[in-house]
């Protein structure tokens, strides 16, 4: 997991340049809706997310839970025992809104997940929400994680980065209902 593949870097660059972006339908309005929320994803769509359809090396598939609105399933299905999915988040001031929150409704037995960020050049993965195999609300402080990683450049004004979900366990999945970056826990 330490190295980021070249295909991820190329894909990240393409997405950053506007070939693909997270859809407005999946994101709720930031400052207009609630001042303390900088970015929000309601998991009603997989638009804008990077998975095996965009890059076969990623090792995950994304799908919507049938019969349930607003649950995104992130499933490991690559050759490794882990996989990842990512979405580009743009224009966030991590000093003002450092809290990452994930609402997870289910984690397959024998599996786990963690959530973090990666700079747009994919040079490193910064773990924000530690590995867990439990459902429920999970939070982490992006600002503190970035400082620990020595990437203070990600704290200079508004920045763009990839939000990355990592799934462990061959053929296993975690079910996400909501993701948010905000001022408060």
50-59 tens-digit pLDDT: 887 777 777 6
Segment 146-166 shows an average pLDDT of 96
Domain boundaries, the chain: 6-182
pLDDT tens for 73-131 read: 999 887 788 888 999 999 999 999 999 999 999 999 999 999 999 999 999 999 999 99
The CATH class of 6-182 is mainly beta
Q: Look at residue 183 and tell me whether its pLDDT is greater than 90.
A: yes
* Four-point Cα dihedral 179, 182, 184, 185, nearest 10: 10
Per-residue tokens: 68: 């349930």
């Amino acid at each position: 997991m330490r190295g980021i593949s070249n295909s991820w870097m190329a894909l990240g660059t393409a997405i950053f340049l506007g070939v693909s972006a997270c859809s407005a339908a999946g994101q709720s309005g930031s400052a207009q809706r609630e001042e303390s929320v900088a970015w929000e994803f309601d998991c009603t769509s997989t638009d804008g997310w990077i998975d095996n359809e965009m890059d076969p090396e990623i090792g995950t598939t994304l799908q919507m839970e049938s019969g349930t609105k607003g649950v995104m399933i992130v499933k490991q299905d690559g050759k490794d025992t882990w996989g990842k999915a990512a979405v580009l988040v743009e224009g966030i001031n991590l000093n003002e809104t450092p809290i990452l929150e994930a609402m997870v409704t289910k984690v397959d037995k024998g599996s786990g997940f963690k959530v973090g960020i990666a700079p747009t050049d994919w040079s490193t993965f910064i773990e924000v929400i530690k590995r867990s195999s439990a459902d429920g609300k999970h939070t982490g402080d992006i600002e503190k994680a970035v400082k620990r990683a020595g990437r203070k450049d990600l704290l200079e004004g508004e920045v763009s980065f990839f939000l990355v979900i990592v799934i462990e366990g061959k053929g296993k999945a975690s079910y996400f209902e909501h993701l948010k970056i905000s001022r408060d826990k």
